[in-house]
Amino acid sequence: MTDDRRDTRIDKNRLEALVDGIFAFAMTLLVTGLVIPNLSKTEAQSALAGTIAGMRHELISFLVAFFVLASFWHVHNRQFHFIRRVDGGILSITLLILAGVVLMPFTTNVSGDYSEVQVAVVLFHGNMLCLGLLFLIHWWYLTRTPDITTAAISDRDAAYGMRRCLIVPAVSALGFAFSFISPAWSMTSYLLILPASVLAGKYPQGTGSGG
C-alpha cells in the first residue's frame, strides 16, 4: 500500500507564492490611508499644499510601514532559503506572520489618522512587536529543526540571525515606551532599524544568516 502522506504536504514554492502575494497586497494597501479631502478647484489653488503638509503623520506612518514590511519580506526570503521542505511548524508560524502582515494597513492607518492618541500608535507598535517576535520564532525553529533545512545551521550563524531578528522587537518596544512621552514622535524610533542592522552586519558571518 502506498503512503499518501506526501500528498498532504504543502509545497515550498506554493507557500512562497502566497507569502509574496500577501506582502505585495499589504504594501499596496498601505497607500489607501493617504486620503486627501475633496477640494474644489478654487479651494485647491490655495489649500492643497497645506492639506498635504498637514498629512505628515499619515505619510510618516506609511513610509515606516512600507519599508519595514519590505524589510520583513526580505528577511522571510532569506530565512526560507534554508528550508528544504515545509512542515506543520513552519506552516503555522508563516500563517501567523501573514496575519500580522495583513493587519499592518489597518494599524498604519489608525496610527496615522490619530497620531496624537497613544492607543492608536500602540496598536502599530504592538503589530510590529508581534511580527518581529514571530520572525524570531521562525528563525529559532529553523535552527532547532535540521531535518527540514537544506543544510545544518551553525551555532555562530544561528546566534547571528537571532541578534538580527531581535532588532525590530527591540525598536518597537522602544517606540511603545516613547509613546508615553510623545505618541506621534514615537514612530520615528523605527529609523533606528537601519543603523542597528548595519551594526549587526559587522558580526562575523559564515554560511549565512536568516535575520
Please report the pLDDT score of residue 206 as a whole number: 45
| Angstrom distance (rounded) from CA 94 to CA 172 | 20
Radius of gyration of the chain (CA): 20
Is residue 127 assigned to a domain? yes
Q: Please name every residue paired with 149 in a beta bridge, in sequence order, or none if there are none.
A: 83
Please report the pLDDT score of residue 40 as a whole number: 58
Is residue 69 assigned to a domain? yes
Is residue 15 assigned to a domain? yes
Is residue 207 assigned to a domain? no
| Angstrom distance (rounded) from CA 204 to CA 186 | 32
| Angstrom distance (rounded) from CA 70 to CA 68 | 5
**Angle at which helices 88-113 and 12-29 pack, to 10 degrees?**
0
Is residue 2 assigned to a domain? no
Please report the pLDDT score of residue 156 as a whole number: 86
76 alpha carbon, distance to own chain's centre: 9
Please report the pLDDT score of residue 11 as a whole number: 83
**For the chain (length 211 residues), average pLDDT per consecutive 10?**
52 91 93 69 63 73 89 90 90 95 92 89 95 95 90 84 91 94 90 84 52 63
Please report the pLDDT score of residue 103 as a whole number: 95
Is residue 210 assigned to a domain? no
Please report the pLDDT score of residue 143 as a whole number: 92
Domain count, the chain: 1
Is residue 4 assigned to a domain? no
Is residue 209 assigned to a domain? no
- Phi/psi-derived region of residue 208, left when phi > 0, alpha when psi is between -120 and 50, beta in every other case: left
Please report the pLDDT score of residue 1 as a whole number: 43
Residue 62 Cα distances to 35, 83, 106, 112, angstroms: 12, 32, 11, 8
- Residues spanned by the domain of 27: 10-200
| Angstrom distance (rounded) from CA 22 to CA 97 | 10
Please report the pLDDT score of residue 35 as a whole number: 67
| Angstrom distance (rounded) from CA 11 to CA 18 | 11
Side-chain half-sphere of 42: how many Cα atoms within 13 Å?
A: 0
Residue 18 Cα distances to 14, 87, 126, 139, angstroms: 6, 16, 24, 19
